[in-house]
Structure 1
Amino acid sequence: MELIIYLAIGAIAGFAAGLFGVGGGLIIVPILYVVFTQQGYDPAVIMHLALGTSLATIMVTSISSVMAHQKRGAILWSVFKNLAPGLVVGAFLGAAIADKLPSAVLQLIIGLFACWVAYRMFKGAQQAQSISQQLPSTGKQLFAGTGIGIASAIFGIGGGSLTVPYLSKNGVVMQKAVATSAACGLPIAIAGALGFMVFGRSQAIAMPHTIGYVHLYAFIGISVMSFITAKFGAKVAHALSPAKLKKCFAVMLLCIGTYFIVQAAQAML
């Protein structure tokens, strides 16, 4: 039953990764939080375990999603090269920061962040894309990548929730923003997962089937299925209009954000 649950999570997360360029983390984290809670893990580290495992699975999901988007020539590799160094450094630092934060605080931060991004994306869907907008200089992109990397590790995501709005705001067509975001998810996931393994190693002794804050069985089950379904999500992404894609993205984020805010409020009361 446990394996079936992880496979189901992977199927949903993989499709979301291809569709929204988010790496599936915004779906994986809340579901894993519920699953790990039911399995009786220490409440103090459940959120950390969900975040670390999410980032580990995104390593595999991103590869599948990138392959699908690359076939359509939608990835802006020049932008990826500018963002990647900052993403790597930021993601590792983000894991270190997350390790020091209480579970309830992480839930509240993630919930508020998701709702804020949902609002920004839904508002942006009502506005026409400005073709006059251009991406910032290489240095500013590197700086932005660092910030995205830090936040992504704390949120256990592939960075799509930040990378997609960042690129879209700077004149990149939504489909290309999603595709490039999928590529950016790989360095974030690798650096972030390694960080959670390193900083959570003191907790690993008390948790079976884990390396630091990464649950091995969940990682394998989710990764296998998400690799298969990510290509279908990417196919749907290219069939939808940019406005519809933004609205779908916003609705998903709003649901996840509300869930975590409620969980954080209950934990703090």
Structure 2
Amino acid sequence: ELTLDSSLLLLGIGAFAGLAAGFIGIGGGVIMVPVLLELFRAWELPPEVLVQAAMGTSLAVATLSVGSSALRHSRQGTVLWRVVPFLAPASMLGGWLAVMLARHLPGGGLQRFLAVVLVFVALRMWFEKQGVERPLRALRWWSWALLGFGTGLFAGLTGLAGGLVLIPAMALVAHVSTRNLAGTSSGVVTFTALAAAVGYLTHAPAVPLPSGFIGHVQPAVALCLALASVPAAQLGAWLNKKADSRVYRRVFGLLLIGVVIRLFLTA
């Protein structure tokens, strides 16, 4: 059961995840999942469903927080809505295929290889020359779909949130301006997180979970996180608008380096 201490911790983690969702354009799972794993482990959840419960609950929260972020970014005019219908479905398809492929691929070696790729991406984002940004590439709809599919596949094979892969892909491949990165990523991740969350809500666990769970989602925990993450995402999106592009790229680069370290440690 939730105690006062654990509730306060979840509110703090939710606020941090929401701030990241709004400012960077990610779902926040990279922040919430490790905490949820420890919480559910303390609740003595069966090991067979521990990770799924953490991810399902995190995705339920991410749907709300990144959705809140997308709305704020949309009002600020920083979402490229015309490309979201091509990126989002293709990204979901790539993620689904990754789940199928991951069963037949050596996970540790694959994670280390992709972590090395992310190091170069992070350095490229960090040291990108400032000044006049390159114009958006005039890509056809199928090019955006391929970009979405590739990022979904990459994200699924590494276990990363889609936004962490989509943002550098949009910046380096499609030349999406820094001003539009977080907003457009939020628009895409809202739909991918929603689709995944519905799956975790409706899919029966492999072994019975304690009462209070709906599928793999713990509603009380999700609500506690969302109470802080939804308004924090609004603040994060507002800060994104005020921040210099150099600040955004370096914050994102630092986050990516942190994720790379975790990938190496868990590979």
TM-score of the pair, normalised by structure 2:
0.82
1:36 equivalenced with 2:40 (yes/no): yes
Choose which of 200, 213, 231 in structure 2 pairs with 1:210. 213
Letter in 1 for 2:118: V
Contact 2:205-2:216 within 8 A present in 1 as well: no
Match of 1:61 in 2: 65
Choose which of 126, 129, 141 in structure 2 pairs with 1:138. 141
Match of 2:246 in 1: 243
Contact 2:61-2:226 within 8 A present in 1 as well: yes
Q: 1:61 to 1:92 in 2, by over 3 A?
A: farther
Counterparts of 1:65-144 in structure 2 under 5 Å?
65-91=69-95, 116-128=117-129, 131-132=134-135, 134-144=137-147
Letter in 2 for 1:66: A
Letter in 2 for 1:233: G
Cα distance between partner residues in 1 of 2:219 and 2:101: 22
Shift of 1:11: 0.7
Match of 1:165 in 2: 168
SS of the residue corresponding to residue 83 of structure 2 reads: helix
SS of the residue corresponding to residue 243 of structure 2 reads: coil
Q: 1:226 to 1:152 in 2, by over 3 A?
A: farther
Cα distance between partner residues in 2 of 1:95 and 1:214: 20
Cα distance between partner residues in 1 of 2:39 and 2:159: 16
Query: For structure 1, which runs of at least 5 residues remain unmatched after alignment?
Result: none
1:189 equivalenced with 2:190 (yes/no): no
Match of 2:184 in 1: 180
Number of aligned positions between the proteins: 260
Q: 1:244 to 1:155 in 2, by over 3 A?
A: same
Contact 1:96-1:196 within 8 A present in 2 as well: no
Shift of 1:89: 3.6
SS of the residue corresponding to residue 78 of structure 1 reads: coil
Cα distance between partner residues in 2 of 1:156 and 1:215: 21
Cα distance between partner residues in 1 of 2:66 and 2:241: 17
Query: For structure 2, which runs of at least 5 residues remain unmatched after alignment?
Result: none
Shift of 1:135: 4.9
Q: Is the deviation greater in 210-219 or in 177-186?
A: 210-219
Shift of 1:76: 0.6
Question: C-alpha deviations, 1:213-256, integer Å up to 9, x for none?
Answer: 22222211112211011111112222222222111112123224
Q: Percent identity?
A: 25
Match of 1:252 in 2: 255
Cα distance between partner residues in 1 of 2:199 and 2:232: 27
Contact 1:52-1:156 within 8 A present in 2 as well: no
Shift of 1:207: 3.8
CA RMSD across the alignment: 3.1
Contact 1:56-1:189 within 8 A present in 2 as well: yes
SS of the residue corresponding to residue 82 of structure 2 reads: helix
Higher radius of gyration, 1 or 2: 2
1:24 equivalenced with 2:28 (yes/no): yes
